[in-house]
Structure 1
C-alpha cells in the first residue's frame, strides 16, 4: 500500500464506490443517439423538411437502487476537509446525472442539463454572436478521411505517447452506435460513418488523445480514482483545455471557431423554445453553417429533450484564457479530470503528498510554435482574439 493510499484511509473506499457508480451510469454514451447516421439519411432524403427521431439506448441500471447505494456512502465520516468537499459535490452531481438519464425524452430533461452544465450567460452569447459575424464563411473543405483512416492516425498518436511512456494504454474503437468522436473512460470511440476533414485530423488527435485520454491516464495513476472519471463540473475545463490544445498546435481554424460559436447560439435558441427545424434553419440561413454541420450541432442540442452541454466548449476556453492571463500554471490541470474551481483543493492535496504530479505531459505543449502561442496568450486574450491567430 502506498503512503498516499494510507493517508487517504477510509476515503479510498468511498472514492472507489463513487467511481464505480459513475462508470455504471455512462452518461456520455447514454445521451448519444444510436441511429444518428440513419436519421441524417432520412432527413436529407426528405429535403430537410421534418425533425429527426433520435433513439437512445436503454438504461442498464435501476435508478432507485443506484440512488440508494449513493446515499449509503458515509461521506460524513471523512475528516479531511478537501476530500469531504469533493466527495459531497461528486455525490450531488451523480444524483443529478441519474435524474437526467431518467428524464430523457421528457420536458424535464433540459432543467437537469442546466443544473449539470450551467446557463448561457449574456457575455458568452454575445461572444458567440461576435465570432459568427467576425469570421467570414469559409469555403467547403475538399478532402476528408474515413473512420478507418482516422483510427490508424489515432493508433500512431498512441504509439508516440507509448514511446515516451511505455505503460500508456491504447484503445481505439470504430463503432456503429456512436454519432460523434468521443473518449469514454479512456477509450477513443470513432463513428463508423465518420468523414473527418483531413486538416482536422491532427488537431482532433491533440483534443481527444492529447487531452481527454492523457488526463484520464494521469488520473488513473492517482490514489483518488475520481480523478480519472472526473471531479464535479470537470467537463467545461476539459473541453477548454482541449480547444486550447487545438489552438496551440495551429489547428483552431476559422471553421472550427464558427462551429464552437454556433453551438452556443443553438443552445440559446433551444432555451428560448425553438425546436429542431427552427434551430437547423437558423444555423443555415442566419449563419450560413453547412447542412451536415448544422445537423450535427442541432441534434446535439435537442437530444434527450434539450441539452445545454455544447455551450461548455466556448465557455471553457474563455475561462482557460482568463486563468492563463492571470499567470497561473496549467500543470495542475493535467493531474486528472478536474474543474478550474477545484484547483486550490487539488493543489492542497498535491502539497500534502496525497496526490502525485502528473505522469504524462501532453505532447501538444511541445509541438513547434506552441510555447510562442502560449506566451502570447499570457498577455491577455479573448475568444475573439483567437481568430486572428487561427487563420491558416
Structure 2
C-alpha cells in the first residue's frame, strides 16, 4: 500500500492517534535538557580538574524545560485514554502506542527530577543499569565491560595495532560521507554538513548528519560514521517517515534507543567498520556508569578516564556524559549503556530468528524507530498493511543468505567451550 491510496476509517483512526503522539513529543529533547553548558566545563578546566563541576539542583532549575511538564504529561495521558477508547484494550498497535505514551510520561518525570536522586532511578528504568543481567544466570553489562577491557588490553599489549593517523578534516569527512550515502539513499535524500554546536564528533538528524567542525578523522572513523549514523540512524528515521499510518515509527522513545544503538553497533561489526579503540570507548562508558552506580563521584570517574589515556578536556567530556542530568555525587544517566546492551540483545534476537527460520522478522528492525519487544506485533502489522517494510536497508541486511549463514555458524560456535578449546590449543597458539 502506498501513501497515495485512500485509508479506511480504521487506518485513519490509527493515523490520527499516531500523529498526536508525534506532535506531543516534539518539544521533548532529552539530551538538550540534561547537558551542561560551556561555563561548567570552563570552571572545571580552570580548577585543573581538582574541584567537582558546579552543578546542583538549582543549576537545573535555572534552565527550565522547553515545555510545561504538567500539561505535557496530561496530554500523553489523554492520548493514552483515547487509544483505549477508540481501539480497545488489546489492539496490537494500540498497545504499542499506549506504551510509548507511558514512556514519554516517564521521560518527563525524569527531566523534572534533574539534579535529584529520582533522575538516576528513572534513568535506570528507561535505559537499564550496568548491574542488570541479560538473562537469568548470565553475566551483567558491567561484567561484559570488564571482560572486553581484558581482551582489549591483550590486543593493545601487542603494540602493532595502532590507529591510523587522523589526516581527514571535517570538510573531507563531509565530502566522503555525502558521496557514499548518496549511493545508498539517492542524491538529495541526506545532507552532510559541518557544525560547531555539537559535543560528539558527529550527530544524526532526520535527514542529515552533522560533523563537528574541529573534529579529525581517519578512513576507519568515516566508515564507522557511514554505517552507524547513516545506514542505521538516518535510515531508520527515513523508513519511519515513510510510514503512511504508523507515523510514530519515525520517533523513538528510550526503549527504541537501546534497539537503535544496538543495531548501529552490530552494523559496525558486520560491516568491518569497528576497531579496538572504538570498542574501548564503549566499554569505558559502561564501566564508568557502573562505577557511578556503585557510588563513585565525578572526580573519581574523571580520574578513571584520565587513566584510560584522556587529557583534561577529554576526561571531563567523558565523565560529564555519565553525570549530565544528575549532580557530581549522584546516580548516573545510563543512556550510554544502550550501545553494548542493545548490541547483545539484537545479536541474540537475530541468532534466534535464524535458528527458528523466521528470517522475515530481521529486516523489520529497520522499518522505523523500532523496539525489540514490539517485533512480533510489527510482523502482524506489516501483514495487515498497517506498517510498510523498510524502504532503505543496509546491504548486509538485504542479503539474508549471507547473514543467516554467518549466524548459523555463530549459533554452533556458541555451544563450544572456550576454556576447553584454550587447553586443547595451548600447544599450537
- In structure 2, the residue matched to 1:110 is 120
Shift of 1:340: 1.2
Inter-partner Cα distance in structure 2 for 1:102 and 1:231: 17
Inter-partner Cα distance in structure 1 for 2:53 and 2:120: 18
Inter-partner Cα distance in structure 2 for 1:134 and 1:322: 21
Is residue 337 of structure 2 the alignment partner of residue 320 of structure 1?
A: no
Alignment of 1:155-304 (within 5 A): 155-163=178-186, 169-180=189-200, 181-222=202-243, 223-230=245-252, 233-285=255-307, 288-291=308-311, 294-304=315-325
Shift of 1:299: 1.5
- Work out which of the residue numbers 287, 294, 310 in structure 1 matches 2:336: 310
User: Can you give the 5+ residue segments of structure 1 that lack an aligned partner in the other structure?
Assistant: 386-392
Q: 1:307 to 1:72 in 2, by over 3 A?
A: same
Shift of 1:335: 0.9
User: Can you give the 5+ residue segments of structure 2 that lack an aligned partner in the other structure?
Assistant: 134-139, 327-331, 419-429
- In structure 2, the residue matched to 1:63 is 69
The answer as to whether partners of 2:258 and 2:342 remain within 8 angstroms in 1 is yes
Q: 1:189 to 1:348 in 2, by over 3 A?
A: same
Q: Rg: which structure is higher? A: 2
Is residue 148 of structure 2 the alignment partner of residue 131 of structure 1?
A: yes
For 1:273, what is the secondary structure of its paired residue?
A: coil
- In structure 2, the residue matched to 1:359 is 391
Inter-partner Cα distance in structure 2 for 1:27 and 1:187: 19
The answer as to whether partners of 2:298 and 2:319 remain within 8 angstroms in 1 is yes
Alignment of 1:338-353 (within 5 A): 338-353=370-385
Residue by residue over 1:229-258, the C-alpha shift from the partner in whole angstroms, topping out at 9 and shown as x without a partner, is: 126611111111100111112121111121
Inter-partner Cα distance in structure 2 for 1:216 and 1:380: 34
Inter-partner Cα distance in structure 2 for 1:295 and 1:373: 40
Shift of 1:33: 4.0
Question: TM-score, length-normalised on structure 2?
Answer: 0.78
Q: 1:202 to 1:53 in 2, by over 3 A?
A: farther
Residue by residue over 1:94-139, the C-alpha shift from the partner in whole angstroms, topping out at 9 and shown as x without a partner, is: 1011122222233332122112111222522111101101112464
- In structure 2, the residue matched to 1:16 is 19
Alignment size in residue pairs: 375
- In structure 2, the residue matched to 1:390 is none
Inter-partner Cα distance in structure 2 for 1:5 and 1:237: 31
Question: TM-score, length-normalised on structure 1?
Answer: 0.85
Root mean square deviation, CA, Å:
3.0
For 2:288, what is the secondary structure of its paired residue?
A: helix
Shift of 1:187: 3.4
For 1:24, what is the secondary structure of its paired residue?
A: coil
Q: 1:4 to 1:344 in 2, by over 3 A?
A: farther
Q: 1:5 to 1:102 in 2, by over 3 A?
A: farther
Residue by residue over 1:10-34, the C-alpha shift from the partner in whole angstroms, topping out at 9 and shown as x without a partner, is: 2211110111111221223333444
Is residue 64 of structure 2 the alignment partner of residue 49 of structure 1?
A: no
